[in-house]
Amino acid sequence: MKQSILSLSLCAMLVSQVSWAAPLVIAHRGAPGYLPEHTMESTTLAFAQGADFIEQDVVISKDGVPVVLHDIHLDTVTNVADKFPERKRDDGRYYALDFTLDELKSLVVHERSDLNGKPVFKNRYQGSAQFTIATFEEQIELITELNRQFNKHIGFYPEIKSPAWHREQGVDISQIVLTTLRKHGLDDADKAIYVQCFDYAELKRVRNELGAKVKLIQLMAENDWNESPTDYDALRTPAGLKALAEVAQGIGPWIPQLIDMQTMQATGLVKKAHAAGLDVHPYTFRQDALPTGVTSQQTLDLLFKQLKVDGVFTDFTDTVVDYLHR
326 residues of the chain, pLDDT tens digit each = 444 434 444 444 443 333 335 899 999 999 999 999 999 999 999 999 999 999 999 999 999 999 999 999 999 999 999 999 999 999 999 999 999 999 999 999 999 999 999 999 999 999 999 999 999 999 999 999 999 999 999 999 999 999 999 999 999 999 999 999 999 999 999 999 999 999 999 999 999 999 999 999 999 999 999 999 999 999 999 999 999 999 999 999 999 999 876 677 899 999 999 999 999 999 999 999 998 888 999 999 999 999 999 999 999 999 999 999 98
| Annotated active-site residue in 38, 70, 110, 281 | 70
Tell which CATH architecture fits domain 1-18+234-326: Alpha-Beta Barrel (3.20)
Could you tell me the maximum CA-CA distance found in the chain, to the nearest angstrom? 58
Q: Is 273 helix (H, G, I), strand (E, B) or coil?
A: helix
Q: Where are the beta strands (DSSP E) in the chain?
A: 24-27, 53-60, 66-68, 155-160, 194-197, 215-219, 250-252, 279-280, 311-314
Q: Are 120 and 113 in contact (CB under 8 A)?
A: yes
Active site residue 28: yes
Residues 28, 233, 276: CA angle, nearest 5 degrees: 75
DSSP-derived letter for residue 145 is H
For residue 21, what pLDDT is reported? 52
Q: How many CB atoms lie within 10 A of CB 138?
A: 16
Active site residue 274: no
Q: How many CB atoms lie within 10 A of CB 129?
A: 12
For residue 261, what pLDDT is reported? 60
- What sign has the CA pseudo-torsion 287, 125, 315, 324? negative
Residues 6+ apart with CB under 8 A from 40: 132, 134, 138, 139, 142
CA–CA distance, 70 with 231 (Å, rounded to integer)? 22
Q: Where are the domains of the chain?
A: 1-18+234-326
| Annotated active-site residue in 28, 38, 110, 166 | 28
CA–CA distance, 244 with 19 (Å, rounded to integer)? 28
